[in-house]
Amino acid sequence: MGFRILGTGSALPERSVTNDDLSEFLDTSDEWIFPRTGIRSRGICTTETLDELAVTACRRALEAAGVSAGELDLIICSTTSGDHLIPAEACAVAELIGASCPAFDLSAACAGFVFALDVADGYLARGRGERVLVVAAEKMSRLVDWSDRATCVLFGDGAAAAVLGPDGENPLALRLTTEPSVDILHVPGVAGSSPYDATERPASVLAMEGRRVFKFGVNAICDSVQALCEQAGVAVDDIDHFVFHQANERILSSAVQRLGIDNAKVARALEETGNISSACIPLALDRLARAGELKGGQLVVLVGFGAGLDTGACLLRWDRPGD
């Protein structure tokens, strides 16, 4: 027994910050940013909380699925940038939507949504419930160094969610990997104020080795696609939609070229959202669903990759009711 995606939803901040906006306080420009990243704007929270974005995405997913919050048996939130260290972001979501089920957070950086799908699949397979809400919510604007033009231009805020139910055939294939490396992409934890702590206390802002992340991202996509197809016994050409983590257009283009796949099959939201960490994949999936581009029986590949270095990849057959 596997799962089915019953409905999806997403939410972005009201404020869209363009490359020209960034040039007002950074030594940068649209001419510098867009060719290097594929990003022209990104949603940045101003008055919204991450709780509010997550709740909006969840309510839209529940509405699309025809499921009430009271019917949920589990809520999993993928986040590395929640409004709360304690309690879990998922607990805040549960309270605000009126759910009364177990709720917890999962941290696997940009691969988090796919990791959460695997956890949800196990929960459903054990018969622990019939309705699971998986939400990815990220406020990357609170983690970046806004004086570092090499990193802050890449990221945005947002949330996206999916409601899962049983009696499907998904995942057709799944692959989770970790190539342990902390320094390539990391955000130091909260320093605290302990008078006994004699360790160094670096600022809690994102640091990244761009070239190594680029190489890892391209390899992660290509290796994952090949591995999933081999597991499921399908050809790469049989895949109808590729939903990759939206890190950088150069990563996407390099992977597309190496795999030899049809560029039109690759979902893209990067230009107007930037990198929203684990929310990238479900947001792109929601956009495909709401545009009517996902048809019943189609094969969809999801590949997330990021800090850790974690990779989460999944092959799905789209079988949402009504599609």
Q: Which of 58, 110, 229, 314 is an active site residue?
A: 110
Whether 105 and 185 share a structural domain: no
Q: Is 245 a catalytic residue?
A: yes
pLDDT of residue 322: 65
pLDDT of residue 201: 80
- The Cα 56–Cα 296 span in angstroms is 26
pTM of this structure: 0.96
Residue 322 lies in a domain: no
Q: pLDDT tens, 13-22?
A: 999 999 999 9
Asked if residues 236 and 225 have their Cβ atoms less than 8 Å apart, the reply is yes
CATH code: domain of residue 47: 3.40.47.10
Q: What is the pLDDT of residue 269?
A: 96
Question: Tokens standing for 135?
Answer: 């939400």
Residue 104 included in any domain: yes
Domain end marker among 142, 168, 194: 168
Q: Where are the beta strands (DSSP E) in 16-127?
A: 16-18, 41-43, 74-78, 103-106
Q: What's CA 80's distance to the chain center, in Å?
A: 11
Q: How far is CA 32 from CA 6, 35, 154, 285, in A?
A: 41, 6, 12, 29
pLDDT value of residue 319? 86
Pairing of strands 241-244, 299-306: parallel
Determine which one of 45, 245, 248, 314 is catalytic: 245
| Structure confidence at residue 127 (pLDDT) | 93
Structural domain including 299 reads 173-317
Catalytic residue among 19, 170, 248, 275: 275
Domain boundary pick from 168, 188, 220? 168
Residue ending a domain, among 168, 195, 217, is 168
Residues of the chain with pLDDT under 50: none
